[in-house]
């Protein structure tokens, strides 16, 4: 059955807002994947978890190390492109 569209949009918006909040604080999660999103259905909210690979970044400075889950890596990371 899955989620209805209205609820899916609500949860997706919360995930995007959480990422934006982290980025405003100059924090990158570096391991975003479904397993690191926890749903609290009774409260109607989601939370990002597992910040073990997270890092503070300086705007304009590239993070050099690769980490996270290989299955969710961007193609350019897998191909070694910058």
Please choose, from the candidates 60, 74, 78, the residue with its C-alpha nearest in 3D space to the C-alpha of residue 30.
74
CA atoms of 13 and 30, how far apart (whole Å) = 19
5-78 maps to CATH 1.10.510.10: yes
4 is catalytic: no
- Per-domain boundaries in the chain: 5-78
Predicted pLDDT of residue 82:
60
- Which is the catalytic residue, given 4, 31, 50, 81? 31
Average pLDDT, 10 consecutive residues per value, the chain (82 residues): 90 98 94 95 95 89 80 82 67
Please choose, from the candidates 13, 75, 23, the residue with its C-alpha nearest in 3D space to the C-alpha of residue 54.
23
Beta carbons within 10 angstroms of residue 58's beta carbon: 8
């Amino acid at each position: 059955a899955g989620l209805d569209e209205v609820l899916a949009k609500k949860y997706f918006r919360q995930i995007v807002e959480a990422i934006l909040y982290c980025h405003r604080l100059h924090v990158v999660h570096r391991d975003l994947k479904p397993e690191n999103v926890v749903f609290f259905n009774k409260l109607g909210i989601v939370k990002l978890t597992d910040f073990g690979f997270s890092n503070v970044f300086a705007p304009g400075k590239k993070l050099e190390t690769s980490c996270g889950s290989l299955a969710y890596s961007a193609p350019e990371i897998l191909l070694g492109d910058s």
